[in-house]
Structure 1
Amino acid sequence: MNHPPTTSTRPTTAPRPRAGRLAFACTLLAILIGQTIQAASVRADQDAQPNLIYIMVDDLGYGDLGCFGQETIKTPNIDRLASEGMKLTSHYSGNTVCRPSRLSLWTGMHAGHTAIDSNAPYVLKESDVTVAELLQQAGYTTGGIGKWALGNTENSGHPNRQGFDFWMGYLDQGEAHNYYPVKLWRNDQKVPLPGNVLSDATLARGRVSTQRTTYSHDVMTEEMLDFVRSQGDKPFLMHIHWTIPHANNEGGRVNKDGMEVPDYGIYADRDWPNPEKGFAAMITRMDGDVGRLMALLKEKGIDDNTLVVFTSDNGPHSEGNHKHETFDSNGPLRGYKRDLYEGGIRMPTIARWPGKIAAGSTSDELLAHYDWLPTACELAGIESPTTTDGISFAPTLLGQTQRSHEYLFWSYGPKKAVRIGDWKGVIPGKDKPLELYDLSNDIGETKNIADQHPDVVEKMKQAIAESLE
């Protein structure tokens, strides 16, 4: 489905000479044998079907982790993931906002082929095929916690109807922006959170708590750890969709502390506004829970047969009275959440698998969230759907030759973007001309050089048109 933007030519009708036919057949056979050997090599590198843990946090920027250049906020456990695994420095989100980014991840489709390319409501259909559903069919026990946003108990989009044996967290995206909700969902059952009370003025909207006792992140984290503890010899898939460090937008307007966290921890005495203390404390709290998870894998003796991937759903936000500039959350990149410049879509991504992924390694292979579905399928030893826009990046993780994307594509309403090699094309809005950047020497997208390279601009336009077919 992801075809290169090339100029087609009509093939000749003249018969191919016998020697030419033989050489062509030999070349084709060699390619097929090579692909078969590579797939077999990936499978041979696994002692058994590995456990797969995919961590996607919410609105974390490329520059928010110590291992990606953050100097103020402390993330020692995630930094350890990077030192023991691989940093994926050109790994992109499926979109620049929450719901379509998750839809891209679940289904293996880029934004030109998903049902939505914005935060418009969408319910997963029975005909949609998710990575959880595929792995469930491959014999995996499947679990997830956190923000879902693609269905509820009354329709086909509920996670239990989309491949998850277990789900704990938020179903409604709006409720997920409150860290002190009155309830979460365990599968199709409401789980009241003790001590969280809504004010009369906001009860109908169900978002802002005036009495706040039970922090939702902590509840979901304990459920996630219990799921991992309960697993036996059968392989499992765990999707961790923590809502940190998304802002409580409603709370930010009510109490000016839209970055909700039980305490400010090591940042309590900093001379910062409270929302900035909250933002930093949320990330460090989440980092501590990554450490707890890794300790549990070692305790259970499954560390060596578990792949852990860490990423974010989109770029950093400036919401809840927090400003992304405070901690340089987008690092060297331009833009943030809702932009299709690099800051809105390039994610701080890490993969760790002891004995399989080289410790302290880095890859700049062009990858995206929609590559997770085929990757998980390959590692589970099953075929990936032919309709996916993704490419398995298992070879990259295992130090093997990787088949590369011809291009990556994004759509956010009228905004479009495409990356071909080091070239990046961006249409920043309705009726706006395409901007062109050379990321090899301008990662901050500061110099629009579209007028200097009309041939490249034309390739970008072809790729965009093809991606929307």
Structure 2
Amino acid sequence: MVIHCHLALFGTLLMYSGLTSGDEPPNVLLIIADDLGIGDVGCFGNDTIRTPNLDRLATEGAKLTHHLAAASICTPSRAALMTGRYPIRIGMAPKNIFRVNFFLSSASGLPPNEITIGEIAKEKGYRTGLIDRRSGKQGFDYFYGLPLTNLRDFGDECENVIRAKLPFIDNLLLAVLLGGVMFVYFLKKAQMVGRFGAITLLSLFASPVILVYAIMYGMPYWNGAVMRNLDVVEQPIDLTRFTEMMVAEGKRFIRTRSESDQPFLLVMSLVQVHTALHAADPFKGKSRHGSYGDEVEEMDWSIGQLLDELDTLGLAKNTFVYFTSDNGGHVEEKGIHGDRQGGWNGIYRGGKGQGGMDGGIRVPTLIRWPGVVKAGSVIDVPTSHLDVLPTVAGVIEGKPPTDRVIDGVDILPLLKAGHHYLPSPPHHFLVHYCCDDIHSARYTPGNGSDVYKVHFATPKWDVGTEGCGLFCDCYGNAITQHDPPLMFNIARDPSERSPISPKTETYRVMLQEIEKLLKQHRRSLVPVDSEFNRLKLVPRPWLQPCCNFPTCSCRDSKRSGLK
């Protein structure tokens, strides 16, 4: 382990061990929202969006106010949550502008030699399920969902994710095509090429244009495949009532616990609130925040359905429930009509994709385990997605892998104490990457009151905003390098408005400690192949899932069973 807990933490763990000895093994339910801002949830301060079920979790369990995503964007963040390891260690910290996997048929993914939560649970005899919008079956018995992601292309407003990122794409493609036609025309006019040569050259100019348009307008077919285990059951995805389908699949999986002696680990990875927004009819137009607010409220309803199922089956008291978001709200996200379709990150600056900005990595997190996690407790010490694997391993009395660096720690002692006043914080030091570059780091001295954060680089926001068009990049002219680094005491200044002067003794001492720990972190890194290598990201036709070839069109028969 990179982080060594104080011996007293071990003593606390021993003191609490045996709480469930002799009882049935606890079940585990992990719920991961997509792009949900910490300011979107009632118990985290929102009084205009209704989230009664999440608020209920906060009342019955612990609210983690300083829980951090291991990356500010979904793919590396989720990989870190599943493995307990920084994305840089597992090939999930890209070296270029491509920070997510765009194609279902690419070769990019979590390396098969990485150990996931599912594999640890299976070793303890658990039935494991993944109701997901990204991932493979690495350690999971059952899978249902979107193997890639929910894209705005899947919605009903003719939106396109490529055009949103590159609004000039149509003009560029038209210029390429017209330029090619003119070029060939003049060559033909000058009798420098014959008919066959002219046709060949025109094909060369037209082919990339046709390919780009095929990718743009084929997204619902290339990427919108819903799978149950290894079978494509719906293509392209119909988002109508898809949330209900995911809830039905989750409840069906939970019911297997009451029908067998096998405990379960279920990861419910929700499609909300990533665009395309697709709230079902009972939720449309019901919130005060347009289609985005409708989505949050439907997401909360879906969580309530799962919690009610646990209650109905008498499993609530023996189920460890964890809720989080994969990263912060996407503050730049807008619909084709200019309406805001991204989340609110409360008092925290920046948002999704912005390296070390807390708006992109401080995520709403709740944990409930009746009789073990203190009800109504608030944990404000830094914790991380990295802690999920070792903590779940502690819950089920499993063992995290010992043949590799695990960056997370078991935070059960912290949850049982119900506050952060332990002999040592779970994390003295955490780093925050943007792609494969460290943009910031935070240091907790352990005095129970201070957390220092430094920024080595920050995004160049558009004037008057805390965003960068559609998305902030990590390198070059897109960022501002800080020398000396910016420093804040975020325990006292969480909005990072008042930097500590580099002339102060506090600045000097804290920066010295952070730089020492940063060197230790870098020395612990072992080079690995990047999963975001351009060659791995290129779609491979032979890997493309397709039902009813060649139409690649089908509908999930189980939809008819929805009530």
Fold match (TM-score > 0.5)? yes
Question: Which residue of 1 is the match for residue 316 of structure 2?
Answer: 303
- Equivalence map 1:47-446=2 (5 Å): 47-118=23-94, 119-121=99-101, 122-149=108-135, 158-159=136-137, 162-173=138-149, 178=154, 183-192=225-234, 214-231=240-257, 232-248=260-276, 259-263=277-281, 265=283, 267-268=285-286, 276-317=289-330, 318-321=332-335, 329-339=344-354, 340-386=356-402, 387-399=405-417, 401=422, 404-413=426-435, 414-421=437-444, 422-429=451-458, 430=475, 432-433=481-482, 434-446=485-497
Q: Secondary structure of 1:267's match? A: coil
Q: How has the CA–CA distance of structure 1 residues 299 and 105 changed in structure 2, closer, same or farther, with 3 Å as cutoff?
A: same
Decide whether the 8 Å contact of 2:151 with 2:275 is kept in 1.
no
Q: State the Cα deviation string for residues 402-442 of structure 1 (Å, max 9, x = none).
A: 75212111211235221112101122255712221111221
Q: Give 1:90 deviation, angstroms.
A: 1.0
> Which letter maps to 2:272?
I
Greater Cα shift, 46-55 or 402-411: 402-411
Q: Give 1:380 deviation, angstroms.
A: 1.0
Q: How has the CA–CA distance of structure 1 residues 166 and 459 changed in structure 2, closer, same or farther, with 3 Å as cutoff?
A: same
Q: How has the CA–CA distance of structure 1 residues 438 and 213 changed in structure 2, closer, same or farther, with 3 Å as cutoff?
A: closer
Q: State the Cα deviation string for residues 234-292 of structure 1 (Å, max 9, x = none).
A: 211010110200112xxxxxxxxxx332337373485xxxxx51111111011111111
Q: How has the CA–CA distance of structure 1 residues 361 and 242 changed in structure 2, closer, same or farther, with 3 Å as cutoff?
A: same
Q: CA RMSD in A?
A: 2.7
Cα distance in 2 for residues equivalent to 1:324 and 1:313:
23
Decide whether the 8 Å contact of 1:424 with 1:439 is kept in 2.
yes
Cα distance in 2 for residues equivalent to 1:174 and 1:246:
7
Cα distance in 2 for residues equivalent to 1:168 and 1:139:
21
Q: Give 1:218 deviation, angstroms.
A: 2.2
Greater Cα shift, 428-437 or 67-76: 428-437
TM-score normalised by structure 2 residue count:
0.66
Q: State the Cα deviation string for residues 157-188 of structure 1 (Å, max 9, x = none).
A: x31xx100011111123669736865301111
> Which letter maps to 1:40?
L
Q: Give 1:214 deviation, angstroms.
A: 3.4
Q: How has the CA–CA distance of structure 1 residues 260 and 36 changed in structure 2, closer, same or farther, with 3 Å as cutoff?
A: closer
Q: Secondary structure of 1:113's match? A: helix
Cα distance in 2 for residues equivalent to 1:179 and 1:221:
20
Cα distance in 1 for residues equivalent to 2:319 and 2:153:
30
> Which letter maps to 2:278?
E
Cα distance in 2 for residues equivalent to 1:450 and 1:171:
47
> Which runs of 5 or more structure 2 residues have no equivalent in the other structure?
102-107, 157-219, 445-450, 459-474, 524-563
Q: How has the CA–CA distance of structure 1 residues 264 and 191 changed in structure 2, closer, same or farther, with 3 Å as cutoff?
A: same
TM-score normalised by structure 1 residue count:
0.79
Q: How has the CA–CA distance of structure 1 residues 3 and 384 changed in structure 2, closer, same or farther, with 3 Å as cutoff?
A: closer
Cα distance in 2 for residues equivalent to 1:133 and 1:50:
16
Decide whether the 8 Å contact of 1:70 with 1:327 is kept in 2.
no
Q: How has the CA–CA distance of structure 1 residues 185 and 69 changed in structure 2, closer, same or farther, with 3 Å as cutoff?
A: same
Q: Give 1:228 deviation, angstroms.
A: 0.5
> Which letter maps to 2:376?
G
Q: State the Cα deviation string for residues 329-381 of structure 1 (Å, max 9, x = none).
A: 11111111112211111111111112222211111122100101110111111
Cα distance in 1 for residues equivalent to 2:440 and 2:339:
22
* Runs of 4 or more above 6 Å deviation: 322-328
Q: Secondary structure of 1:398's match? A: helix
Question: Which residue of 2 is the match for residue 460 of structure 1?
Answer: 514
Q: How has the CA–CA distance of structure 1 residues 91 and 170 changed in structure 2, closer, same or farther, with 3 Å as cutoff?
A: same
Greater Cα shift, 83-92 or 351-360: 351-360
Decide whether the 8 Å contact of 1:417 with 1:464 is kept in 2.
no
> Which letter maps to 1:244?
Q
> Which letter maps to 2:353?
R
Decide whether the 8 Å contact of 1:244 with 1:283 is kept in 2.
yes
Cα distance in 2 for residues equivalent to 1:241 and 1:364:
25
Identity of aligned residues (%): 30
Q: Secondary structure of 2:309's match? A: helix
Question: Which residue of 2 is the match for residue 38 of structure 1?
Answer: 12
Return the index of the structure with the highest Cα Rg.
2
> Which letter maps to 2:13?
A
Q: Secondary structure of 1:419's match? A: strand
Cα distance in 1 for residues equivalent to 2:148 and 2:239:
21
Q: Give 1:131 deviation, angstroms.
A: 1.1
Q: How many residues align?
A: 401
Q: State the Cα deviation string for residues 64-120 of structure 1 (Å, max 9, x = none).
A: 100000111110111011011110111111110000001101110124423122524
Q: Secondary structure of 1:443's match? A: coil
Q: How has the CA–CA distance of structure 1 residues 111 and 213 changed in structure 2, closer, same or farther, with 3 Å as cutoff?
A: closer
Cα distance in 1 for residues equivalent to 2:343 and 2:301:
22
Q: Give 1:382 deviation, angstroms.
A: 2.1
Q: How has the CA–CA distance of structure 1 residues 174 and 300 changed in structure 2, closer, same or farther, with 3 Å as cutoff?
A: closer
Q: Give 1:35 deviation, angstroms.
A: 6.0
Cα distance in 2 for residues equivalent to 1:303 and 1:133:
24
Cα distance in 2 for residues equivalent to 1:379 and 1:403:
20
Q: How has the CA–CA distance of structure 1 residues 213 and 380 changed in structure 2, closer, same or farther, with 3 Å as cutoff?
A: closer
Cα distance in 1 for residues equivalent to 2:267 and 2:371:
22
Cα distance in 1 for residues equivalent to 2:286 and 2:24:
46
Cα distance in 1 for residues equivalent to 2:153 and 2:132:
11
> Which letter maps to 2:443?
I
Q: Secondary structure of 2:90's match? A: coil
Decide whether the 8 Å contact of 1:73 with 1:283 is kept in 2.
yes
Cα distance in 2 for residues equivalent to 1:349 and 1:213:
26
Cα distance in 1 for residues equivalent to 2:380 and 2:16:
20
Decide whether the 8 Å contact of 2:131 with 2:145 is kept in 1.
yes
